[in-house]
A and B are shown apart, each in its own frame.
Chain A
Amino acid sequence: MPITVKSLPREEYLLPGNASCPGCPAALGLRLLGKALGKSVILVVPASCTSIIQGPYPKTSVKFPLINVIFASSAATASGIAAALEILGKKGVHVVCWSGDGGTVDIGLQALSGAAERGDNILYICYDNEAYMNTGIQRSGSTPYGAWTTTTVLGKKRHKKNLPMIMTAHNIPYVATASIGYPLDFIEKVRKAVKYKGLKYIHLLAPCPVGWRFPPSKTIEVGRLAVLTGIWPLYEIEKGKFRLTGVSRVLLDKSKRRPVIEYIRVQGRFSHLSEEDVRVLEEYVDKLWEDIKKMLP
């Protein structure tokens, strides 16, 4: 039974009036997380945009119990929470890490890898806005090739780290990619993930209007273009079994993919790209799909 917008609960877990920027994908993602799981969530938030979005003491815009933690420690803190819930016999609570790309692919990777290897019972969601946005758009290990950031003013020279595949190599029960442009696909994956015991990993592409240089009204559109051009394939790996999801299911055939330039063109962070740079990104996408082809049954 596919999830429909109408079937989602009306309850909101991220309250309006929060401190997010207009068009913020992280705030939208957090809202969808609440729609996916309901109230039985304990949220672990490392230093990231969400530290700000939730609003300052003595108020909060998040209705989940939430602990803010030091940058590198979200997965390890969640491990401790999961252990305590188990020994204290508190069942049915989802421990969810809600971390940015810096807190996941860079400074938080060691703790995440440890928790994955131990099989601690956590849902880890990386909302990937492809740079250190909260500190003002510095490059991260998740910034794509060519992108302007304040620490790569001529464009980044390296490709993005493929964290979903690194997590897959940990033999965890569930790994998925998602895009904020496809909310129902994301919700479905969150709901599926929590059925498994162990560490589950979802990598949510979160186009950031401020950092990517596009108008705040276009967050969903950019999130969809990322998928439609093939630069961000939607898939899930359930107990090692790879499966494309949503619109990505038909994109193995290159002719069905929209040209990568359509994704590049709408973002100011790519405005300086040369033809050669565009070709590098196109080749990156082709390679991505060749690799996917090998993983398909």
Chain B
Amino acid sequence: MKLNLDQTKVARARAAAARISADIHKFIAAHTTTAVERTVARLFGIDGVDSDGVPLANLVVEDIARGGALSRGAALALGNASASLDLTPRQVAEQVAAGRISLAKLPFRPDAARAVADTYAHDALRRIAARRREREELLAELGEGDRPYLYVIVATGNIYEDVTQARAAARAGADIIAVIRTTGQSLLDYVPYGATTEGFGGTYATQENFRIMRRALDEIGQELKRYIRLVNYASGLCMPEIAALGAMERLDMMLNDALYGILFRDINMQRTLVDQYFSRIINGYAGIIINTGEDNYLTTADAVEAAHTVLASQFINEQLAHLSGLPDEQIGLGHAYEIDPDKADSMLLELAQAQMARQIFPRAPLKYMPPTKHMTGNIFKGHSMNSMFNLTSVLTRQGIHLLGMLTEAIHTPFLQDRYLALENAKYVMRAARSLADEVTFVPGGKAEARADEVLGKALDLLARVEQIGLMEAIEQGIFADVKRSRFGGKGLDGVAKQAPDYYNPFVAPMLAKQYLSGGEQ
């Protein structure tokens, strides 16, 4: 079941996206942010909070910024302090938190600072590489579900309740569990600490919560003899920090979109673009599959009219991901089944678009999102819409299949909602497993025409974005009908231009995949 796509258009669109990404990358590579530097601090082992609950990583980076040394990076400041005081970075952070020292006031010895920074960085790299190997070994030992992987969310607010629901979902056939974050976490400029039992519409992403859910999924995976993947969100104002926590706690997938925070959370675009780069480098190194957020465009814009903006953004997300060292196999590009069910041939159009995405990004584990916008509270109709979505997904061999809930638009899923969704998906996918091998599209028919139309419009859009640059395109509201100013939004005060002697000891070895099998040793 293949569409005859115009390969010249595909190549031209990809080339335009590569030039757009290379252009914005010049800006990204010349800047850092408080979140990036807090990530370095965390990777150096700086964990925990002070008596007011403020993370030590924040206190250290605030101290560095106050001393005017943010532009050189936290690694050198911490390396310098560790060398001068003969303390670990964690002990240095405790001294800062206690108000006993200020890092920028210590005499700066660049060579010693760099050498110590490298030592701690390479410790962290080896730890992350070990967690990655652990995943590979578990996958080899336990195996995994068929693709599309069945992905469900848990969102109770209480990590222990989440565990119960996640275990039940795994038993019912889920391959992937995502712990939805509490509403509002994306706008916190710090990562909360410890196990949490209160949240709204989701559960706080904390290192301890990651650990609790990881342990639970490993246990149930052993019992079911199927590796269960864990997902959280590297998004918001702490993108790279959460990516680092995910790497350390062996998460398997992270939502990570270059533009989502800008468009949907009004985070400053300079901040997000710089943050996404380092967060993706970490995801790439840790073997974490990223999930991009193009599906969200269709929740604000019309799914038929705006389908090409999804494709254009996928091209850009792909190229930016490549610049961060992510191979295609780790790029879960997002798209969604959001066409109005009252429209004639809605499934035909969805099928054409899903198959188009499959062929344009053949190695990417595409993340396919269920109907949400046209779910009404009529759970019975919603359940049949989800069946159509399930069928489209299995026919077009999507990689990551986010299950639709019959109670979408009513409440965060009940235990039984998830069970019914899994039952539905397993039935439909079992029933139609080989169907796509047995049917073909009519050459020049409606499906091919639709794919060609979307591809053509995406190419035009990319050409326009290339002309004005990505930032200007976002300012003009090209994506999702949302306009954002490059100087507006949250988090701009955390962006700094890198000094000539700026140093982040993780970037080069992570891009070179050092300590990984097949990478530089």
Physical interaction between A and B: no
Chain B interface (Cβ < 8 Å from any Cβ of A): none
